[in-house]
Structure formats: C-alpha cells, structure tokens
C-alpha cells in the first residue's frame, strides 16, 4: 500500500496524456478532411504531413497512454478490490468501456484516413471530437463526488453540457461560413 499513491499518480498522468491524444486526433482528422478538398499540390503536401502527425500522435502518445492508464488502473483495483463493489466504480468502469469504444472507433477512422478514405465531413468530425469531452466530464464528476452525486442532476448536467457543446459547434459553423479563415 505504500506505493499506492505512486501508482495512482502514474494512472492520472497517463489518463491525461490519453485524453490529450483523444482530444487532438479528431482535430487532425478535421484538418485532413479539409486538406483533401484543396487543390494540388497543396492537398498532397498537407495530407502527407497530417498522416505523419496523426500516426505519431496515435502510436507514440495515445495508444501507449491508454494501455499504461489501464495497467495502473487494474493495479489499483488489485490493491483495493472492495472498490469494484461500489456503485460509483461500476459506473466509472462503464464509462471506461465507453471510452475504449470511442478509442477503437477513432482507431478505425485513423486507419481509413491513413488510406485517404474519408467518410466524415469536417462538421461531423467536430461533433465526434466532443465524445471524449463528455466522457471526461462524466468520469471526473463521478470520481470526485462519488456517492454524494444526485444521479438525476448528474445525468441532466451531462445532457446540458452536450447541448452547450452542440450550440457552440453551430455558432462556430456560422462564424466559419462567414469567414473561411476562422
């Protein structure tokens, strides 16, 4: 147990770097989608660079961070097995499963983009980008507040956050349509 705080610290560090990757990869996808609509030679130059950036982000930061965050999480659960029986931890683990589903879907999008297969619009990808944000907010509030959380208000708060994110995206889309450099 004397090492527990070190394990917890490493878990949090890799959670942060994992989310950094999950926040940034859809932005790179947006840029890739928009670059694909450009004329040559700009299109080739941009897409080549964006493929390299996404590959490095995905394989050097995001995947290793996900794996290490999970290893340290399992280690903490091994040290504190009673946590698994607590309601908040079961809900948190549900969000972790959702986070991995988001991660795997992002991986599929990554693989498509590496082969210049573009199935998403830049606006759809901007919406996709908010998935990690919603999961992060949910997990942080759940872990910090734990049993004191009023589930009804918590769920309503997440839906309110999602609505605010959607509104922000719509406002940004309007601003961007007026000024293509935004």
Instruction: Confirm if 36 and 118 have CB atoms less than 8 A apart.
Output: yes
Residue appearing with tokens 């991986």? 107
The two three-digit tokens of residue 173, written as one number: 């889309």
Would you list the DSSP string of 30-72? HHHHHHHTSPTTHHHHHHHHHHHHHHHIIIIIIHHHHHHHHHH
CA 138 to CA 141: how far, in whole Å? 5
Tell me whether residue 115 is annotated as binding: no
- Residue 62 in contact with residue 15, Cβ under 8 Å? no
Tell whether the torsion through CA atoms of 145, 146, 150 and 151 is positive or negative.
positive
Cα 23 from Cα 28, distance rounded (Å): 10
Is 92 annotated in some ligand binding site?
Answer: yes
Binding residues, as ranges, are: 11, 92
Binding residues for heme, as ranges, are: 11, 92
């Amino acid at each position: 147990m004397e090492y527990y705080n070190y394990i917890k610290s490493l878990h949090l560090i890799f959670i942060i770097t994992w989310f950094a990757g999950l926040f940034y990869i859809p932005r790179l996808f947006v840029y890739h989608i928009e670059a694909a609509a450009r004329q040559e030679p700009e299109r080739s130059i941009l897409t080549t660079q964006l493929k390299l950036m996404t590959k490095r982000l995905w394989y050097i930061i995001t995947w290793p961070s996900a794996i290490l965050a999970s290893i340290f999480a399992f280690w903490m659960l091994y040290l504190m097995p009673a946590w698994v029986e607590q309601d908040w931890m079961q809900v948190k683990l549900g969000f972790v499963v959702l986070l991995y589903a988001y991660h795997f879907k992002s991986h599929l999008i990554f693989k498509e983009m590496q082969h210049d297969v573009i199935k998403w619009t830049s606006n759809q990808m901007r919406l996709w980008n908010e998935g990690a944000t919603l999961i992060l907010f949910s997990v942080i509030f759940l872990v910090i507040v734990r049993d004191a959380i009023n589930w009804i208000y918590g769920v309503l708060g997440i839906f309110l956050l999602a609505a605010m994110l959607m509104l922000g995206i719509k406002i940004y889309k309007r601003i961007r349509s007026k000024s293509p450099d935004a």
